[in-house]
Structure formats: C-alpha cells, structure tokens
A and B are shown apart, each in its own frame.
Chain A
Amino acid sequence: MIPLDQLALGEEAEIEQIETDHLPLKLIEMGCLPGNAISLIQKAPFSDPLYLKIDESHLAIRKETAQHIFVRLKK
C-alpha cells in the first residue's frame, strides 16, 4: 500500500484507505472511496497538482491532498 502521490504515471491502482479528516467531502463525493479504481493521468511540474482518474471522474488535486489517500497497485 502506497500513498497516492507516489503512484507512477499511467499506473492503475485501487483505493485502499483514505484519511477522511484530511480530505474534502467533495473529493469523497466525487468517488474517492475505498474500493474504487484510480490512475494517474498527468502530473504538473514538481508533481503538483496531480491529474487523476478516480472511478469515472477526471479531476486534479494538490499533492498535499494526495498524501492522505493510500492505494494498492493492480497486478
């Protein structure tokens, strides 16, 4: 299990655990929930912000937020 900001470009993973207190409810409501698929589409320079596909949503979040999401790589 790794924090989301360490996911490599194009890698597919599954959300394993989220630190609810540090995440905006909006992100959770957009599908950032354990069990959902997640992949990193693009990074801005300095790896911040991150452009993700979470479940069926395409969205960008900052690195500081991504550190509170833990994912497991898909084999």
Chain B
Amino acid sequence: MGRSINIALLGNPNTGKTSVFNRLTGLTQKVGNYPGITVEKKEGICKLNRTTRAHIIDLPGTYSLNASSMDESVVIELLLNKNSKDFPDVAVVVTDVENLKRNLLLFTQVKDLGIPTLLVINMADQMKRKGISVDLPFLEKKLDTKIALVSTRENQGLDLLKELLLNYRQLSTQPTIDLYTIDQQYFENLKAAFPNQKLYKLWLVITQDVNFAKIDRKRVSDATDFRTQSESELKRLQQKETVKRYQFINEILKVGLFIDRDSATDLRSRLDRILIHKFWGYIIFFLILMTVFQSIFDWSSIPQDFIDTSFAALSELAKTRLPEGVFTSLLAEGIIPGLGGIIIFIPQIAFLFLFISILEETGYMSRVVFLMDRGLRRFGLSGKSVIPLISGTACAIPAVMATRNIENWKERLITILVTPFTTCSARLPVYAILIALVIPQGSFFGLNYQGLMLMFLYLVGFGMALISAWILTKTLKINSKSYFVVEMPNYKLPLLKNVGITVWEKTRTFVTEAGKIILAISILLWVLASYGPGKDFSEAEQIVTEMHLNIEDEALTTKINAYKLEHSYIGILGKAIEPVISPLGYDWKIGIALISSFAAREVFVGTLATIYSVESDAEETIKNRMASEVRVDGKPLFNIASGISLMLFYAFAMQCMSTLAIVKKETNSWKWPMIQLFGMTLLAYVVAFSTYQILA
C-alpha cells in the first residue's frame, strides 16, 4: 500500500459538494456519527493513482467558519484540531459557479487557516446556458490556489481534480486577508500574546459561540482575555472582517467573472411564481404530499405482502423440516419473524427517501419550509417538520429518520419526540377491529359513525403531536441559538446517483442499527411467550387434552396454544398488570395483547386470536369471538367505554420498539426514547383511564 492523504470537502449547502463526494468515492463511503453528537459523518476512499489513496471526509455544508449550528461547528472543530486523525492535508472548497461570490467567502476563511486549499468550481455545465464565463488563470493567480472546473452532472473535471489533489504540496498557504487592517491594535495585541499561532485561528477560537464548542481551547485558553471585548464589539469586528473579505472577492470577480445577464433564462422566478403562491403553493404542496403518501401506502404494500408471506412460509418451513426442539422453535417463532419484522419496513423507508431526496435535490424542500414555517413556528416546530409529521401517518420509523433535514437541534428533537403520535399504518388494524366491534353502524348527516371515529383518531394524533410540541418547546432547556435564514436554491433536476445513494444509505442504516434492537426484543418476547413456570405450562398438552376429550385435532391444538400462552411468562405478566389496567376497562387477556404488541402494534389482533383460541385469522371470526367475551358480571368486555379507552390508549402509547430503536439511533442516547416510552405511556394511561371512568 502506498501513501494515504486526508482530504476534507467543504462548501456551502446546495453547491453540489455531496455530488463531488459521491463521484469521487461511490459506494466506498461510510456514514456514521461524530462521537457524542448526531451530526452525520460521511467518509470515503478514492484512489488518486496507483500508489496514493485519498481518505475523504464530506464535511457538513456550511456558509462560513462562524458556526451557527452543531453541523457547522463540526467543520470548525476539525479544521482547528491539528491532532485529529482526520485533520486534512488538503482542503477542497466546492463552489457553485452561479453563487461564486458568496461561496468564495468560505474559501478565503479556510485558506486563512494555513491549510492548503483547492478550489472546485462546480456546475460548469450551467455556464453556457446562464451566460457565465470565468478567467481561470486570473482567478488562480489572485486567489493564490489551483482551480478545478467540474461538472458532476456530466462527470467532467474530476480527473483534473484528482491530479491537483496529488500535487497538493505545491499549494500556497498564505492568508488572503490581512486581519490587521480590521483593527490594528486588537490584532497586534492578540499576536503578541500568542506569537506561535496563526492569527486567524486565534480569532476564530475567540469568536466562536461557546454553546457549540467542544473546540480544544486549552492552548489558547488565556485568549479569553480577549473576550473582554463585549459580544457586540466582537460582532462588529466580524462584520468588518466580512466586509473586508467581500471587498477582496469583489475586486477579483470584477475581472475574473463575466456574466451576460441577458442570456440567462429565468426558470427560478417562473417556477416560484406558482410553487410558493399564497394559494396555489399550498394546493400543489398538498397534492405532492398526497401522491407521496399514496405511493408509500400502495407501492409498498405489494413488496410488504410478499415479505410477509415469504417469512411466514420460511417460518413454516423451518418448523416442518427441522427436528423439533428449542432451537427450531427459536428460529421459527423468534428469529425469522423478528427478521421479517425488520425487513417489512424496507419498502416504506426506501420509497419515502426516494421522494424526500428528489424533493431536496430539486430545491423544492426549501420552498416547503418557506410555506409552512409560520404555521408550525407557534408550536415550536420548523417548516421542515412537515415531512416527518405527515410521513408519520405511514410509519414513524422513516419519519424519524427524515428529521435529519432539520438543522436546529431543538426543533429536530421535538419533531422526533412528537412524530410517534401521528396515526401510523400499524395502528389501523387495531382501530379497524375495535371500531367495528364497539361503534354502532349508522350515520349522522350522512357521515358514518365508524368513519367519524377513525377520522377523530387521526385528528387526535395530530393534535397531540402539536400540543406536546408546544409543551416541549416551553419546557426543554436546550440552548440551540439559531436564526431562520433559509437559502432558496435554484431549481435543478435531481442527480440519480445522489438519490440512489441516499435511499441505499438510509435503508442500510435502518437495517443495521435499528434492526439489532428489534431482533433482540423479538427474541425476548418469544422467550416470554414460549416458556412458563410450573406444570401448567410444561404439561399443558396433557391438561387440555383431558379437559376436552371429544374434540378435533386442530381445535385441540388451538386450545393447547391458548392454555400455554395463558401460563407462559407473558401470560403471567398480563395477569400481573391486570390490577393496573382494569380501571381502564381491560382484563388480563388484553394485558397480554398490550405487552406483545410492543413488538408492533398490529400484533394486538393476532395475539387476541391466539388467546381466544380462534382458529382462523379472518377478522370477522376474531371480531365475533371478541364480541362474545364477557366480564365476571356477564356484561360484554368490549363496549363503547372499554373500546374507546383502548383505542385512545393505542393512539397515545409508545408501543413500538422499532420506533424506540430508531430514536435511540437518531438522538444517540437512550434518554430520549425512554422519555418517549414513559411519557407517552403515562399519557395514554391517564387518557384511557379518564375515558373509561367517564363513559362506563
């Protein structure tokens, strides 16, 4: 193996930085988290020539080195920390030819840190159409660097970039701006205090907002003396610095960049006129959402049914072909259904991210933020919370993963915490059977009662999501100072490669990260349901056979299974929680269903089928059996009061280990999923309790 060099990719959002990264690394990339925080860390390998490999880090998009979010502080942290194993030998700043002026601001900052810095001017394919031309030799001379003109769309210029990277040692490390011209006195004092440090580096350490900082301040800890300047004084200096940088850039671009405005065709303003129209904008957004969720439901149901039947068949195959025993049972009833429970989410996740990445890539997502910001702001959410909240109606798992687009950590966390309140598709089978059971047929002004109930449950879910978001905003003390400044990028056709990589990455992350936890809990639930203490469990077959002498084989097996479940650990748990849940109108059988539906809410129906020894899975049969279930006093177990109480319990309770697993992954701690689990379950309990007590 030859030598390896570290490369950091930097750039403003929407410059195609990630496209450059994808072009260079392809599927060699790894996505993880920076330690302790939830900023995505993307790295990959690129072979520059036969002997040299580049280890490339795609740093989060940033407008400048003055951090205003956790993502951005990651960038500065890396560039200031020479001891990091990822510290770049060479930095590559990716810019968009149409926003060159603003993009160069970041370039001058990075270069002033004394790191060899290359400039990539991307979207070269747009130049002709937009009437833009650049004088590369002039720009290279004035910016004191090498420039690669690249088109990721047409795959051009990347070989030149690789060649420039190989020769990074020839790049100059001279600063672009003379900081002394901003405030001679101040910067002279600073330099005198730390003669060995780069001046701009010192200045950055002093001005970074402490809230974000994990920047190693030790060596310059005395620099706090220089903070004696008031905050607003420092900001004034920063503004002066920005003005200086723009003066420098403007001087250069005046000669080096030529834009023929007349030949520019203005797609942006034509599309914006409709897409963010005060009325039509919302209608179009609504239609897009409808299409997206229809397809998530419809298109996913085909592969999902296939996955469902395949795993059931596989499980059956294991049961019949393998010798009977603990291992076979674990495989057939624990591991295979557990794996199936993970894989069944893949179609929904893949479809949702297909749409989301297309909406992101085209630039439409920023328009959604613009349209929705004001409405959601009063609940402490962001315009970007719309997508997760509404995708939650399909499934909370991809929805939680979709919050990654929200930059502000507090808004993102709140969105993650409240998303599981929206009515996901797994709640539907539970609602369907309960509504059919307890809500009378009939109609009110042409609106059918049962339909109204279902609509009510959806509204209650959304309502609770908004209310709890509002409460969390008021109570969570998270210092994430952020301002609403959203760039409205140009409209672009999505790059297939970028879309593909996003879909692949999100799906892979779910299977490997959340999958582990889901599989573990599935096996735990299997153990609880397949073992029990005492003779009632171990001799169940004998006991039941003696009780029912004249009965067909199949019916007998069903009865045995029901008896076993009743006396298994999970059955004992169900009975143990009966005193707690009986004020809600439930008995121990429902208790078992509540516990086992922790694996997935829709398991509720299947579990009740087993407990009531219903032989067929048909909804009608289970429903009839449930309807005939009575309490000790002879009244039906499922009536309006207990039925609605149960539905509201399902509406609010956090009964989905897969969601908890993905929240753990996304927030990087068990704290938030535990708060969700206990908070939501407590809320569900209180609501179900009051409902039952009032209605009964």
Which A residues are closer than 8 A to B by beta carbons? 20-21, 23-31, 33, 41-46, 48-49, 51, 55-62, 65
Contacts and interface: CB of A to CB of B under 8 A. Distances in A.
Given A44-B371, A56-B99, A49 B484 contact: yes
B22 interface: no
A51 B486 CA distance: 9
Contacts of A58: 268, 487-489
A24 to B, nearest CB: 4
B246 A33 contact: yes
Given A56-B102, A58-B268, 19 more contacts: A20-B232, A20-B235, A20-B239, A24-B68, A26-B68, A29-B64, A31-B101, A31-B246, A42-B370, A43-B278, A44-B371, A44-B373, A51-B272, A56-B98, A56-B99, A56-B101, A58-B488, A59-B486, A65-B484
Nearest to B232: A21
A31 B486 contact: no
B236 interface: yes
A60 B272 CA distance: 13
* B interface: dominant SS: helix
Contacts of A20: 232, 235-236, 239
Contacts of A26: 63-64, 66, 68, 483, 485
A30 B102 CA distance: 6
A57 B483 CA distance: 17
A16 B373 CA distance: 28
A21 B487 contact: no
B274 to A, nearest CB: 11
B369 A60 contact: yes
Contacts of A24: 68, 482-483, 485
B239 A28 contact: yes
B374 interface: yes
B488 A59 contact: yes
B105 interface: yes
B252 interface: no
Contacts of B239: 20, 25, 28, 33
Nearest to B487: A59
A53 to B, nearest CB: 9
Interface in B100-125: 101-102, 105
A61 B276 contact: no
Contact of B373 (A25, A29, A49, A65): A49
B294 interface: no
Contacts of B483: 23-24, 26-27, 61, 65
B631 to A, nearest CB: 53
A25 B68 contact: yes
Nearest to A35: B243
Contacts of A55: 101-102
Nearest to B245: A29
B242 interface: yes
A65 B486 CA distance: 12
B366 interface: yes
B468 interface: no
Contact of A61 (B68, B238, B268, B484): B484
Give the most central of A24, A44, A51, A61: most B CB within 10 Å: A44
B81 interface: no
Contact of A21 (B68, B235, B377, B486): B235
Chain B interface extent, by class: 35 or more
Contact of A60 (B101, B370, B377, B482): B370
Q: Which 5 A-B pairs have the closest CB atoms?
A: A24-B483, A58-B488, A60-B486, A29-B64, A62-B484
Contacts of A56: 98-99, 101-102
9 contacts: A33-B239, A33-B246, A42-B276, A44-B371, A48-B374, A57-B102, A60-B370, A61-B484, A65-B483
Contacts of B68: 24-26
A41 to B, nearest CB: 7
Contacts of B242: 25, 28-29, 33
Interface in B351-398: 366, 369-371, 373-374, 377
A50 to B, nearest CB: 9
B229 interface: no
B690 interface: no
Contacts of A23: 483
B374 A30 contact: no
Given A26-B66, A29-B105, A61 B488 contact: no
B269 interface: yes
Interface string B267-283: 01100100010100000
Interface in B443-493: 482-489
A42 B486 CA distance: 14
A20 B269 CA distance: 30
A24 B105 CA distance: 16
Contacts of A59: 485-488
A10 B482 CA distance: 28
Nearest to B109: A29
B266 to A, nearest CB: 11
Contacts of B369: 60
A49 B272 CA distance: 15
Contacts of A46: 374
A21 to B, nearest CB: 5
A42 B272 contact: yes
Interface string B519-533: 000000000000000
Contacts of A48: 373-374
Contacts of B235: 20-21, 25
Contacts of A31: 101-102, 246
Contact of B370 (A21, A25, A44, A57): A44
Nearest to A41: B272
B99 A60 contact: no
A53 B104 CA distance: 18
Contact of B366 (A27, A41, A42, A60): A60
Interface in B7-66: 63-64, 66
Nearest to B488: A58
Contacts of B105: 29
B269 A30 contact: no
Contacts of B99: 56-57
Contacts of A57: 99, 102, 487
A49 B370 contact: yes
A55 B246 CA distance: 11
B374 A45 contact: yes
Contacts of B485: 24, 26-27, 30, 59-61, 65
A5 to B, nearest CB: 13
Nearest to A34: B243
Nearest to A43: B278
